[in-house]
């Protein structure tokens, strides 16, 4: 019997099994790490598990690698294609959720909600740790104007924020209510910067020490995309030195984190457990779509949202 392995610990097996009911002789199982050996025809993989040339070579019957997420920087697409397999991903399944989370972070940072809550619980009773700022008229800078970045922009405009954005793939001066500017201009002007760019394997962080130093003094940073988009040490230094007023991160370099992760020691920092994607509506969607992609390949059809095809 051919095997399909779901490697995402948070994913449900039932949406995958439902999608594969049309495929005879296929079992669906859960695994904690990349499998190896004969018989495995499909793997469904979250962002935390890399799929490199070695992993692909260990699966001689592999026909498809399906990401259960929008990001796919954990895939070696050339290796997957060279092995005669497909690669797919799930764009757009949690666009609304991530956009809403980013806006929630922006409101929280500007109004000081979480920091002041912790302060009161520790015995304080004033606004000094995080003086609330007016949201209306605040400048929000969006790095990456794809599906999620534009969804963030729509919500920010509804809150009467001034929205600027940057994206190397967009040459227009304005798009969807966003003033498109160079990265340096965005960093100098924005009171809140939110990241919604793809992580390119091997590329330097979008926000390294140089870029973080260009940010407007007292600005806030939000990262609901990928931890590798920001130089973690440089960000920690900017927060400790008071050059940035605070940050909110939903993604960490190590997930789940240890108690010793530096983010837990940064001042005026909100940390969430990679939760921006989640809602009951979005919970099953990536697994259903990944399962449908596997079913299509096993049935001789081209899968939806293909990243790589068999060489």
Q: What range defines the domain where residue 77 resides?
A: 2-93+281-308
Give the span between the Cα atoms of 294 and 16, in whole angstroms.
Answer: 9
Residue 19 lies in a domain: yes
**pLDDT at residue 10, rounded to an integer:** 77
**pLDDT at residue 232, rounded to an integer:** 97
One domain for residues 131 and 231: yes
Residue 225 lies in a domain: yes
One domain for residues 256 and 161: yes
DSSP state of 230: B
Q: Domain containing 76 — which CATH number?
A: 3.40.50.720
How would you write the pLDDT of the chain (311 residues) with one tens digit per residue?
Answer: 899 999 988 788 999 999 999 899 999 999 989 999 999 999 999 988 999 999 999 999 999 999 999 989 999 999 999 999 999 999 999 999 999 999 999 999 999 999 999 999 999 999 999 999 999 999 999 999 999 999 999 999 999 999 999 999 998 888 888 999 999 999 999 999 999 999 988 899 999 999 999 999 999 999 999 999 999 999 999 999 999 999 999 999 999 999 999 999 999 999 999 999 999 999 999 999 999 999 999 999 999 999 999 99
- Catalytic residue flag (residue 226): yes
Give the span between the Cα atoms of 70 and 50, in whole angstroms.
Answer: 15
**pLDDT at residue 273, rounded to an integer:** 96
β partners of residue 163: 140
Ordered alpha helix ranges (H), 112-214: 113-121, 147-158, 183-189, 209-214
Annotated catalytic residue: which of 226, 268, 288, 289?
226
**pLDDT at residue 201, rounded to an integer:** 83
**What total number of domains does the chain contain?**
2
- Catalytic residue flag (residue 3): no
One domain for residues 159 and 170: yes
Give the span between the Cα atoms of 136 and 177, in whole angstroms.
Answer: 15
| pTM exceeding the 0.85 threshold for the entire prediction | yes
One domain for residues 47 and 138: no
One domain for residues 113 and 78: no
One domain for residues 81 and 150: no
One domain for residues 123 and 135: yes
Residue 129 lies in a domain: yes
One domain for residues 237 and 110: yes
CA neighbours closer than 13 Å in the CB half-sphere of residue 148: 27
One domain for residues 253 and 210: yes
Cis, bond preceding 277 (omega within 30 deg of 0) = no
One domain for residues 68 and 205: no
Give the span between the Cα atoms of 256 and 103, in whole angstroms.
Answer: 24
Give the span between the Cα atoms of 142 and 149, in whole angstroms.
Answer: 6
Annotated catalytic residue: which of 255, 265, 281, 302?
255
**pLDDT at residue 144, rounded to an integer:** 97
Annotated catalytic residue: which of 155, 216, 268, 274?
274
- Catalytic residue flag (residue 274): yes
Identify each DSSP E strand in 135-257 by its residue range: 139-143, 162-166, 174-175, 178-180, 192-195, 219-223, 244-249
**pLDDT at residue 171, rounded to an integer:** 83
Residue 276 lies in a domain: no
Orientation of helix 95-111 relative to helix 147-158, angle to 10°: 50
Laid out side by side, the sheet with 269-271 consists of: 174-175, 178-180, 162-166, 139-143, 192-195, 219-223, 244-249, 269-271
């Amino acid at each position: 019997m051919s095997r399909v392995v779901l490697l995402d610990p948070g994913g449900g097996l039932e949406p995958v099994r439902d999608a594969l009911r049309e495929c005879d002789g296929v079992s669906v199982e859960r695994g904690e790490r990349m499998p190896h050996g004969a018989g495995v025809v499909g793997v469904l993989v979250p962002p935390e598990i890399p799929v490199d040339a070695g992993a692909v070579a260990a699966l001689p019957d592999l026909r498809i690698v399906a990401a259960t997420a929008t990001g796919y920087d954990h895939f070696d697409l050339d290796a997957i294609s060279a092995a005669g397999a497909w690669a797919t991903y799930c764009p757009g399944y949690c666009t609304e959720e991530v956009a809403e989370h980013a806006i929630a972070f922006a409101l929280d940072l500007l109004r000081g909600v979480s920091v002041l809550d912790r302060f009161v619980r520790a015995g304080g009773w004033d606004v000094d740790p995080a003086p609330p700022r007016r949201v209306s008229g605040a400048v929000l800078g969006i790095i990456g104007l794809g599906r999620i970045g534009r969804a963030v922009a729509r919500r920010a405009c509804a809150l009467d924020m001034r929205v600027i954005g940057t994206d190397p793939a967009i040459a227009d001066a304005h798009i969807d209510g966003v003033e498109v500017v160079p990265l340096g201009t965005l960093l100098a002007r924005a009171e809140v910067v939110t990241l919604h760019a793809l992580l390119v394997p091997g590329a330097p962080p979008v926000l390294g020490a140089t870029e973080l130093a260009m940010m407007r003094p007292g600005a806030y940073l939000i990262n609901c995309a990928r931890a590798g988009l920001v130089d973690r040490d440089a960000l920690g230094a900017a927060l400790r030195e008071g050059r940035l007023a605070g940050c909110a991160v939903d993604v960490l370099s190590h997930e789940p984190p240890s108690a010793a992760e530096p983010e837990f020691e940064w001042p005026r920092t909100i940390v969430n457990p990679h939760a921006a994607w989640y809602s009951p509506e979005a919970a099953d969607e990536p697994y259903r779509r990944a399962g449908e992609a596997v079913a299509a390949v096993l049935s001789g059809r081209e899968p939806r949202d293909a990243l790589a095809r068999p060489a």
